[in-house]
Amino acid sequence: MTVKKRADRKGETRTLALILASIVGPVFLTGALIAIDMRTDLSNLKAKPGTDADGLPAMGWSDLENLGPGQQRPARMLGYMMDGYRPVPDGTPVETFMLMPDAGHLLHPAHREAEEMVEVWMPLDGPIRYSDRRLVWVSGMLRRKEAKPREGVAAFSMANAEVRLAAERQIREWFAP
């Protein structure tokens, strides 16, 4: 083998390695960023029996379908704090936000399906600081707003809500697959 052929083969190997690195690197990085940013989807979990200190049982997202138009009931739900109908920067005091069962992830926002969105309204005594995609417990009077909501508009609302920060471990404590 001549020196020229060895040099060509080295160049080919380097070029192939560069091509593979430029394809595999970004794909691996994208997968890693998504995996780091993922949160548990709460939409199919069933609430376990039991009540909190106020006597309210946890309500699962699948239980929303049992609430008819205009009906309301006291409820305590676990979900993710999401901006409502307009973007809200973290730390901004808000009087309302959207509670959703899925937080989405870095590259794909959560689906805004009306049947899986609850407008949460704070009591008149004050707003809460918004924290995007934060896991929270929300308690209040849950009401189905309308039978067939428009796309992107919440089908449910919760007025005079009390909001408490939640921990990921509480998902396993209060819900079963």
Q: Where are the domains of the chain?
A: 1-37, 46-176
Domain 46-176 fold: OB fold (Dihydrolipoamide Acetyltransferase, E2P) (2.40.50)
- Phi/psi at 34 (5° precision): -65, -45
**Which residue from 135, 170, 147 is spatially nearest to 50, judged by alpha carbons?**
170
pLDDT in tens, 89-111: 999 999 999 999 998 876 777 78
What's the pLDDT tens digit per position in 24-44?
778 777 666 666 656 688 888
Q: How many residues does the chain have?
A: 177
- pTM higher than 0.95, yes or no? no
Find out whether 98 and 61 touch, Cβ atoms under 8 Å. no
